[in-house]
């Protein structure tokens, strides 16, 4: 079996002064240094908060469509519509949101940023940096990060399906005569949603904020009407009702936790999108609008269920007056599309970071905005997500059934974030042991209870996100291990670069005008393309630059820290090495980085000299063997991944007409 391997991606991450991570990234021209939180003026802060509403809160903001309904439908109606159960459930909802979202994510985790970036991958990279001198812990942190990433993909597949379905299912209440069209309508919406991803979200992004503002205002207004009618429901805000509910009905409350967790879906997005909007806008949007609106809406639904038990079948839409239900269905559909868009965009960003950290094979990445580096489109990821979303929607058929599969990926991601938080708290903030224990009990205890409650749903659909996560983990670990084995074989064929340069000095080869650039993971070994060019063409360019790219465990690297130049011992032979260090949130573009190196004085050339430069990629077929190190079926999987990997020329922004692929076969 044969695949391909390239020098830009075939080596394990570099370490030491030249950075850590796999090949990837580039130096954005408008990012002269690490992003630092800037003080917001009031108008700018309000605008940022409005933008955050349209991206950050879509997932958690659409949870009222299905969360409380799911609680009362669990296990054939184990949670009853009486005062004790209703007040207990609403208390669990409010205090779970307060502890997990308000305190853990907005109060604590947002302080654990990695150069302004948030999310599980940024947090794992921060933890690795804090424990860089402890190799054992660094390996464990990598495993934790892979698990967190894998669970996110499960969430990315289930969220669009359950969100859009729950909104369109409002037709059951609004227009029962066409309720049989719920699945087809949802399918059309999802097809359109994934079809427009290639165009990017920049043009419609300005509409997201106002739509979500209207959505949260409607949530608050709908709930407030019921609360005014039945003000006694406000008693449910007391945590004593949650405690009493758990003590009085331990088995039922355990089951209820599996659905209560649905109210905090999307909490990870609050942290992951911190780099785009900053702490202050997200916090203001949450505390001034989102949290109050959600709380009031859940109280209103609880009041309706308490006084009209039959409404538990769909309390959200039954709480809306008859005249307003159809418009709310339309608004809810728009809100769920926005929520789905945010998750899909997050999957694109996470996939790019995973590629740059060496956890996934190179993927085709298309920039969809000239101004915003975070607006990208990954065709392969988009197609896989679309297939997964349509499959789970058609298989489960309703948001009620799909909700049984939803909680595990969400709770798993929460636990991963808490575990990483506990690991970074002491070296980062110098927390005393008692603070770490308190956080472990308060956050970890609640989230483990959520996870345990959702594990009971494995048979009824909870296996879906676990299967997705397992598949992603298998792909990531196989790719990482396969790269290591490929590199071992490459090292035998490449030989020492220093020795090769010495050979070239005595070979008396003709030097042709121009610049030849050879992307290669390091300066210890010789690029196979360089060896092949000398062996078969018997010439050498006037300037030969071997470029090694690596990804540092930070989102962005300033130009002053991005380059390390080495003349390889001789300043007069025109053979040089340049190490380029990139952040994991940067877009790969070697030509642009080379021009930046010239402008900063690192390379002794002019930016215009690269106009006609030639690029030589070391890329050869991969042949499977029976050597130890990987079982045969995983070897075949690695070869398949390598065969379908993106062309490194496109990945690193190399000009197609001036790029040559050369090399020899490698074995795994």
> Does 18 map to a domain?
no
Mean pLDDT over 606-631 rounds to 81
What SS3 string covers 109-135?
Answer: HHHCCECCECCHHHHHHHHHHHCCCCH
Same domain, 435 and 494: no
362 — pLDDT class (breaks 50, 70, 90): confident
Same domain, 556 and 439: no
Report if residue 4 sits inside a domain. Answer: no
pLDDT for res 394: 92
Question: Does residue 12 lie in a domain region?
Answer: no
Using alpha carbons only, what angle is made at residue 443 by residues 54 and 223, rounded to the nearest 5 degrees?
45
Question: What was the pLDDT predicted at 12?
Answer: 33
**99 in Cβ contact with 445 (< 8 Å):** no
Q: Do 88 and 221 reside in the same domain of the chain?
A: yes
Same domain, 447 and 504: no
Query: What pLDDT sits at residue 636?
Result: 87
Domain boundary among 407, 432, 456: 456
394 lies in the same domain as 494: no
The closest of 339, 443, 362 to 98, measured between CA atoms, is: 443
Domain identity same for 417 and 496 = no
* pLDDT surpassing 70 at residue 18: no
Of 287 and 493, more confident: 287
Q: Quick check: 202 pLDDT over 70?
A: no
In this structure, of 147-151, 563-567, 628-632, the range with the lowest mean pLDDT score is 628-632
Report how far residue 621's alpha carbon sits from residue 498's, in angstroms, rounded to the nearest whole number. Answer: 26
Check residue 36 and give its pLDDT. Answer: 42
| Residue 2 included in any domain | no
> Has residue 445 got a pLDDT over 90?
yes
Structural domain boundaries, residue 599: 488-667
Residue 207 has pLDDT above 70, yes or no: no
Domain final residue pick, 456, 475, 503: 456
Q: Same domain, yes or no, for 143 and 239?
A: yes
The pLDDT tens digits for 101-145 are: 999 999 999 888 766 667 787 788 888 888 877 766 767 887 888
Please indicate, yes or no, whether residues 274 and 420 belong to a single structural domain of this protein.
Answer: yes
Q: Say what the pLDDT of residue 206 is.
A: 59
Which pLDDT score is estimated for 14?
Answer: 33
Say yes or no: 525 and 393 in one domain: no
Who has greater pLDDT, 521 or 585? 521
> What is the secondary structure of 436-470 as a DSSP string?
HHHHIIIIIHHHHHHHHHHHTTIIIIIHHHHHHHH
Structural domain includes residue 466: no
CATH number for the domain harbouring residue 267: 1.20.1740.10
User: Can you give the pLDDT at residue 391?
Assistant: 93
The reply to whether 41 falls in a domain is no
Query: Per mean pLDDT, which range of 280-289, 550-559, 653-662 is the poorest?
Result: 550-559
C-beta separation of 84 from 244 below 8 A: yes
Same domain, 367 and 432: yes
pLDDT for res 25: 35
- Confidence class for position 15, pLDDT limits 50, 70, 90: very low
Residue 7 lies in a domain: no
pLDDT computed for residue 409 by the predictor: 81
For residue 1, tell me if it sits in a domain: no
State yes or no: pLDDT of 35 exceeds 80.
Answer: no
Q: How far is CA 331 from CA 175, 334, 337, 392, in A?
A: 16, 5, 10, 24
Please give the mean pLDDT across all residues of the chain.
Answer: 82
In angstroms, the first-to-last Cα distance of the chain is 11
Question: Are 659 and 613 contained in the same domain?
Answer: yes
Q: Are residues 519 and 413 part of one domain?
A: no
Q: How many structural domains does the chain have?
A: 2
């Amino acid at each position: 079996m044969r695949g391909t391997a390239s020098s830009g991606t075939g080596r394990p991450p570099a370490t030491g002064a030249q950075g850590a991570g796999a090949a990837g990234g580039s130096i954005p021209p408008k990012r002269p240094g690490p992003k630092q939180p800037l003080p917001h003026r009031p108008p700018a802060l309000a605008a940022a908060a409005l933008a955050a509403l349209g991206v950050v809160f879509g997932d958690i903001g659409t949870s009222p469509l299905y969360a409380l309904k799911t609680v009362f439908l669990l296990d054939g109606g184990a949670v009853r519509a009486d005062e004790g159960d209703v007040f207990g459930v609403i208390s669990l909802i409010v205090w779970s949101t307060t502890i997990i979202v308000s305190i853990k994510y907005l109060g604590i985790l947002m302080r654990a940023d990695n150069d302004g970036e948030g999310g599980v991958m940024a947090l794992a990279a921060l933890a690795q940096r804090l424990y860089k001198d402890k190799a054992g812990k660094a390996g464990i942190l990598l495993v934790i990060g892979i698990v967190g990433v894998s669970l996110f993909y499960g969430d990315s597949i289930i969220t669009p399906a359950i969100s859009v379905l729950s909104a369109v299912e409002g037709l059951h209440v609004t227009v029962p005569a066409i309720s049989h069209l719920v699945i087809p309508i949802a399918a059309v919406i999802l097809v359109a949603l994934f079809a427009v991803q290639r165009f990017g979200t920049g043009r419609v992004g300005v509409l997201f904020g106002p739509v979500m503002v209207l959505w949260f205002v409607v949530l608050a207004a709908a709930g407030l009407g019921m609360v005014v009618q039945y003000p006694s429901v406000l008693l449910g805000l007391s945590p004593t009702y949650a405690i009493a509910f758990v003590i009085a009905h331990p088995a039922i409350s355990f089951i209820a936790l599996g659905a209560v967790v649905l109210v905090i879906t999307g909490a990870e997005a609050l942290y992951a999108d911190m780099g785009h909007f900053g702490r202050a806008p997200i916090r203001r949007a949450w505390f001034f609008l989102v949290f109050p609106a959600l709380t009031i809406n859940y109280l209103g639904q609880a009041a309706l269920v308490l006084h009209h038990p039959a409404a538990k079948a769909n309390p959200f839409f039954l709480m809306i007056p008859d005249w307003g239900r159809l418009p709310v269905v339309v608004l809810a559909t728009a809100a769920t599309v926005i929520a789905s868009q945010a998750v899909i965009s997050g999957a694109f960003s996470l996939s790019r970071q995973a590629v740059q950290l060496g956890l996934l094979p190179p993927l085709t990445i298309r920039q969809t905005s000239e101004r915003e580096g975070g607006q990208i489109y990954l065709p392969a990821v988009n197609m896989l997500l679309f297939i997964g979303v349509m499959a789970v929607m058609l298989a489960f058929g309703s948001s009620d059934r799909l909700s049984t599969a939803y909680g595990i990926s969400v709770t798993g991601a929460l636990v991963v974030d808490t575990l990483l938080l506990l690991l970074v708290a002491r070296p980062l903030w110098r927390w005393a042991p008692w603070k770490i224990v308190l956080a472990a009990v308060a956050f970890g205890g609640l989230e483990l209870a959520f996870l345990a409650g959702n594990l009971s749903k494995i048979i009824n659909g909870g296996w879906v996100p676990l299967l997705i996560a397992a598949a992603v983990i298998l792909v990531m670990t196989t790719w990482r291990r396969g790269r290591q084995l490929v590199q071992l074989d490459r090292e035998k064929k490449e030989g020492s670069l220093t020795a090769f340069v010495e050979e070239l000095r005595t070979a008396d080869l003709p030097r042709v005008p121009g610049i030849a650039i050879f992307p290669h993971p390091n300066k210890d070994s010789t690029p196979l393309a360089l060896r092949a060019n000398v062996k078969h063409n018997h010439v050498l360019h006037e300037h030969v630059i071997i470029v090694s790219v690596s990804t540092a465990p930070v989102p962005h690297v300033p130009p002053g820290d991005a380059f390390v130049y080495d003349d390889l011992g001789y300043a007069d032979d025109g053979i040089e090495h340049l190490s380029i260090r990139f952040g994991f949130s940067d877009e790969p573009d070697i030509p642009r980085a080379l021009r930046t190196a010239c402008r900063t004085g690192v390379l002794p050339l002019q930016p215009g000299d690269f106009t006609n430069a030639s690029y030589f990629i070391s890329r050869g077929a991969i042949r499977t063997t029976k050597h130890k190190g990987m079982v045969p079926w995983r070897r075949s999987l690695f070869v398949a991944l390598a065969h379908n990997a993106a062309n490194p020329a496109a990945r690193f922004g190399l000009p197609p007409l001036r790029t040559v692929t050369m090399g020899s076969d490698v074995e795994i």
